[in-house]
Amino acid sequence: MTATSHLGVALIEQSQSQKEVTANQAFTSIDAVLNSGAKSRGLATPPGSPASGDLYIVAASPTGDWSGQAGKLTYYDQIWRFITPNHGIMLWVNDESQMVIYDGSNWTAIKATVAGNQNILDQSSNYTLSSADYGKVIRFTSASAVVLTLPNSIPASFNCSVLQAGTGQVTFTPDSGANRRNRQSHTKTAGQWAVCALLVNANSGGASAEYVLSGDTAA
């Protein structure tokens, strides 16, 4: 059976029986890719209770029904169906609130040009990191110690910077299922005007984010 060049959608053959099956599957495939965005690109294991049409970008080293499909688009249509991406395809990733582009081998975030200081997020109290904080500088202005909670769900390759602008130290606390790594086993900013970086090195299964903390840190 012949298929389209880009999405690999099966085409109806002349005198084919049950044409509606081929046509409906084609419409479902197109519907999954258009208008909704991928739910995540950080999962390597299929979610347990997917809804019809849920779309994902398969993470590295996938398991289960996604085994051997790393980097592909997958959508749920009673079973998991797969689309091989072409160089240049762009897609919105819902849990990161950003666009990604496929360069022929990897999915890479497209960083938007941000006017003014919108890329700086001011916080004066405890804060829980979000996927929407990708690429931002989180500036803590508190005079008292604060906690930055690191969720287990943020996908691999996420990164941001943290500035201790106030006198209150910032403690980096991993949530249940997440891990925090630092070469010196440090857990905090070193003091006022310290700048630290956070990178999610891996997130197997989408619920075990491994953060690497670097920069001007302290025990």
User: For residue range 51-100, what is the model confidence (pLDDT) as tens digits?
Assistant: 988 999 999 999 999 999 999 999 998 999 999 998 888 889 988 888 88
CB-CB contact of 212 with 181 (8 Å): yes
Q: Is residue 6 over pLDDT 60?
A: no
Instruction: List the 98-102 sheet strands across, edge first.
Output: 90-93, 98-102, 107-109
- DSSP-assigned letter for residue 38: B
Full residue range of the structural domain in which residue 51 is found = 19-109
Q: Is residue 12 domain-resident?
A: no
Where among 63, 79, 109 does a domain terminate? 109
Where among 109, 134, 164 does a domain terminate? 109
Q: Read off the pLDDT of residues 20-52 as tens digits, 9 standing for 90 and up.
A: 666 666 666 665 566 568 999 989 999 999 998
pLDDT reported for residue 113: 46
pLDDT band at residue 114 using 50, 70 and 90 as cut-offs: very low
pLDDT reported for residue 7: 60
**Considering its fold, how many domains does the chain have in total?**
2
Q: What is the CATH number of the domain that holds 173?
A: 2.60.120
Assess whether 124 and 214 both reside in one domain.
yes
Assess whether 79 and 159 both reside in one domain.
no
Where among 109, 130, 153 does a domain terminate? 109
Q: Is residue 4 domain-resident?
A: no
Mean pLDDT (the chain, rounded): 87
Structure tokens at 49: 């209770």
Which helix (H) or strand (E) is 23 found in, with range? helix 19-33
